[in-house]
Structure formats: C-alpha cells, structure tokens
Amino acid sequence: SLVAIWFVSAVTFALVIKRAYLHTFYDLDTASSFNRKTFLHLRKDQDLEQSNTLTRHPDVYKAWGDELIKPWTIKNWNRWE
C-alpha cells in the first residue's frame, strides 16, 4: 500500500542521511518563536532584515505584543523619515 511505501522510504532516508543533518528536519519552535529569535538576534545595523521579519503574516508577530516592535519602531523612526 501507499502508506507502507512511504514508511519504508522515510526509514530508508533516515538510515542513509548523515546524522549531523538529521536535526534540520524537525524543530519544536513555532513560526512566531522562530521569527522572534531571528528578530532579537539580528545586529542593530540590520534594520532591513528586522523589518523583513515583520512582513510575515500578522499572526506570526502578533503574539510578541508591543514589547519588541513598538520600541524598535520608535527608536528608528527619525532615521527612516
């Protein structure tokens, strides 16, 4: 059956892949927490990359509240005008 073929393929793939790369196929972070980490770990001079984080779906950054976005926006507003 198709399920059996899929299972055999997945197991075979897991057995032949380099163990060092196995962690790249799963992560427990949600999209919101991943993007929050990205936003926080960018350098202060990477405004374009930080603003690109905010182009994702609003639900991704809505969970952050105003604690990150509002101070960052206020701090950089004069420079952007």
From CA 40, how far away is CA 49, in angstroms rounded?
11
Cβ contact 49:41 at 8 Å: no
Provide the residue count of the chain: 81
Q: What is the mean pLDDT of residues 60-72?
A: 80
Short-list 74, 58, 63, CA closest to 37: 63
Asked whether residue 58 carries a pLDDT value surpassing 80, the answer given is: yes
Per DSSP, 44 falls in state T
Q: Report pLDDT digits (tens) over 9-26.
A: 999 998 898 888 888 888
Beta-carbon contacts of residue 43 (< 8 Å; ≥ 6 apart): none
Statement: the pTM of the whole predicted model exceeds 0.75: no
From CA 13, how far away is CA 60, in angstroms rounded?
31
Kindly state the tokens that stand for 16: 């032949």
